[in-house]
Amino acid sequence: MPSKKQEDDNRQTDKNYTMAVAVKLTGVEPHRIRRFEEGGLVLADRTEGNQRLFSQEDIEIIRQAAKLEDEGINVEV
């Protein structure tokens, strides 16, 4: 069974979706994704060129948060 640190490390190395890909996968506008990041719902890594990188888990969180917002639920933290 992997340790918590190993699981965290695996999640970090799994961050390979850029903002453009995240938008295509989720259908959520970039400004909303940035707001989710600013609110702490997702934690994007950054490339050396400062480009955001999201994991599959981040993509799912973005989808769920956008759906809740669209239903009128405030997801801001």
Q: What is the pTM of this model?
A: 0.79
- When computed from its CA atoms, the radius of gyration of the chain, rounded to whole angstroms, is 13
Q: Which domains does the chain possess?
A: 4-70 (1.10.1660.10)
pLDDT at position 74: 87
The low-confidence residues of the chain, meaning pLDDT below 50, are 4, 6, 10
Q: Are 41 and 61 in contact (CB under 8 A)?
A: yes
Amino acid at 5: K
pLDDT at position 14: 84
